[in-house]
């Protein structure tokens, strides 16, 4: 968990995608997050967390359903959304926190 905390405690916004391999909507997020990454390049870091492989992290952030996407800046949760989200919505949210 220390390495996860180090990742989110950055000035660069970190978008965390909480997912599971068995989750069909989670698979839909992969190309969406690729679009977001292409748009922002190095201005934002995107991290995927498998809730089955990292249950302590999922529990710490009260993940009750997947996919859940959280935007962190300086270690603070500045935005959170559950379900599939379109790239333009994510881009808009990140722009508000750059």
- Identify which of 13, 14, 26 has the alpha carbon closest to the alpha carbon of residue 63: 26
Contacts of 35 (CB under 8 A, 6+ apart): 87
- Annotated active-site residue 26? The verdict is yes
Choosing from 15, 16, 26, 29, which is the catalytic residue?
26
- Annotated active-site residue 75? The verdict is no
The total number of residues written for the chain in this structure? 98
Counting beta carbons within 10 angstroms of the beta carbon of residue 44, is it exposed (0 to 12), middle (13 to 18) or buried (19 or more)? buried
Is the CB of residue 74 less than 8 Å from the CB of residue 6?
no
Choosing from 7, 23, 47, 91, which is the catalytic residue?
23
* Catalytic annotation, residues: 23, 26
């Amino acid at each position: 968990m220390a390495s996860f905390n180090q990742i989110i405690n950055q000035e660069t916004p970190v978008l965390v995608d909480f997912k599971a391999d068995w989750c069909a909507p989670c698979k839909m997020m992969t190309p969406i997050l690729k679009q977001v990454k292409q748009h922002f390049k190095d201005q934002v870091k995107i991290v995927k967390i498998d809730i089955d492989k990292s249950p302590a992290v999922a529990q710490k952030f009260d993940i009750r359903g997947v996919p859940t996407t959280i935007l962190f800046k300086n270690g603070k949760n500045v935005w959170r959304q559950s379900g599939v989200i379109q790239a333009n919505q994510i881009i808009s949210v990140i722009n508000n926190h750059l």
